[in-house]
Amino acid sequence: MPAWSQDAAQNPQLASAKAFYTIVRTNVLKSADKLPEDKYGFRPSDDVRTFGQLLAHIADAQFFICGTAKEDVSRNRGVEKSAKTKAEIVKALNDGFAYCDAVYAELTDATSAAMVRFFGQQRTKLSMLSFNTAHTYEHYGNLVTYMRMNKIVPPSSEGRPAAPPAKPPR
C-alpha cells in the first residue's frame, strides 16, 4: 500500500479508501498494457463483454461514479461504445482514473461526508468513491480470468521484485 503521508494523517478515512482504489487502478492499467491489442476483442462467450469493452466500461465508470462524488452528477462518456483501439481505450482509462484522482485530491474526511444523489438515494461522497473501487475490483476479476484464459499472468499475481542479494560479511 502507498506510504502514509501527512495528508493521510489528517484524513485517514479518505486515505484508507484511496489506498485500495490505487491498488486496483494500478492493476487495471497494467492489465491494459499487458494484453496485446489483437486480444482486446477476446471474450470467453458471446454473451459477455470483450476484454477491450470491459476496460472501456471501467473508464466510463470512473467518470460516472466519481462524477457523482464530485458534482452530484453522473456522466457517461460513452467510451464503451466509441473507443475501438487499444490506444483509445488506454487513453480513456488514464483520463478516467486521473479524473477520480482529482476528486480524491479535492476532498477531506469532512467534505467526503457530504451527501450526493445516486440512483435516487442519498449517499456520502466517500461511499461513492468506495463503490467505484468495488466496481473496478469486480471487473478486474473479469480481466484476470480473461488474461488467464490467454496464458497471461495478471498483475496482481506477478509477485514482488526479488530483494537484492545480501552483502557478505566483511
pTM given for the model: 0.88
- Angle at 116 (CA atoms; ends 110, 119), nearest 5 degrees: 150
Domain ranges, ordered by start, for the chain: 8-154
Q: Pseudo-torsion of CA 150, 156, 159, 163, nearest 10°? A: 140
Phi and psi for 166 in degrees, rounded to 5? -70, 145
Element of type H or E holding 169: none
Nearest to 12 by CA among 112, 102, 97: 112
Q: Determine what percent of the chain falls in helix, strand and coil, rounding each to the nearest 5.
A: 65, 5, 30
What's the maximum distance between 2 C-alpha atoms anywhere in the chain?
69
Q: Over range 119-134, report the average pLDDT.
A: 96
Window from 14-23, 61-70, 72-81, 115-124 with minimum mean pLDDT: 72-81
CATH of 8-154, one of 1.10.10.10, 1.10.540.10, 1.20.120.450, 3.20.20.10: 1.20.120.450
Q: Over range 25-43, report the average pLDDT.
A: 97
Decide if pLDDT at 4 tops 80: no
| Residue 113's pLDDT band (cuts 50, 70, 90) | very high
For residues 23 and 1, is the Cβ–Cβ distance under 8 A? Answer: yes
